[in-house]
């Protein structure tokens, strides 16, 4: 019974650590960008982030999270490649025409996550002839951390920990019910 109690206690401590994480390591974002500056549906879009070199040592992975504003659909995150000197990039492929938003989420070595504010941009078909098309890409974001995609990731992690804790509790209760073998 002592071994099962240790397993249950370990699962509970792990769940509590996820539910109330410690202070996150600081990460200074120097800038984010994408190219081309005026994306169109027939071309691929690359995304970039540059971090302060000293702070980059706190990052274990960076992910691009992007959503169609028009449809309200968020797509599977893309792992960014570390290219050196605090820089990460990813080729996210083609995007359909419309308004989009993205942020870059960083998984830190201390187990916490942080992310950039949402950046909005537009994907439009080329305007033939007079070039009167509106290709203005805008960067907006008030720095609030309300990105629903990131919250879903966090909910998934918490849900997994709750499931592990419940399974550990069931194992302990079953062991208690069976009694000592003999």
Domain parsing of the chain, residue ranges: 2-178
How distant is the alpha carbon of residue 70 from its chain centre?
21
pLDDT in tens, 158-173: 555 656 766 666 666 7
Query: Sorting pLDDT into bands at 50, 70 and 90, what band is 124?
Result: very high
Bridge partner residues of 87 (DSSP): 50, 84
Quote the pTM value.
Answer: 0.59
- State the chain's mean pLDDT as an integer: 75
Q: Considering the domain delimited by 2-178, tell me its CATH architecture.
A: Sandwich (2.60)
How far from the centroid of its chain's Cα atoms is residue 50's Cα?
A: 16
- Measured at the alpha carbon of residue 74, what is the angle toward residues 34 and 39, in degrees to the nearest 5? 30
């Amino acid at each position: 019974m002592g071994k099962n109690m240790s397993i249950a206690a370990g699962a509970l401590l792990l769940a509590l650590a996820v539910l109330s994480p410690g202070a996150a390591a600081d990460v200074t974002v120097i800038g984010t960008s994408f190219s081309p500056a005026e994306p169109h549906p027939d071309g691929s879009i690359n995304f970039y982030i540059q971090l302060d070199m000293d702070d980059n040592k706190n990052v274990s992975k960076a992910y691009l999270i992007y959503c169609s504003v028009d449809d309200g659909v968020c797509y599977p995150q893309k792992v960014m490649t570390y290219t050196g000197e605090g820089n990460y990039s990813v080729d996210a492929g083609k995007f359909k025409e419309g308004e989009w938003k993205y942020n870059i989420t960083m998984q830190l070595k201390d187990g916490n996550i942080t992310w950039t504010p949402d950046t909005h941009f537009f994907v439009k078909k080329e305007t033939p002839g007079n070039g009167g098309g509106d290709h203005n890409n805008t960067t907006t974001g008030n720095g609030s951390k309300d990105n629903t995609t990131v919250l879903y990731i966090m909910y998934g992690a918490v849900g997994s920990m709750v499931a592990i804790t419940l399974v550990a509790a069931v194992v302990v209760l079953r062991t208690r019910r069976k009694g000592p073998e003999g």
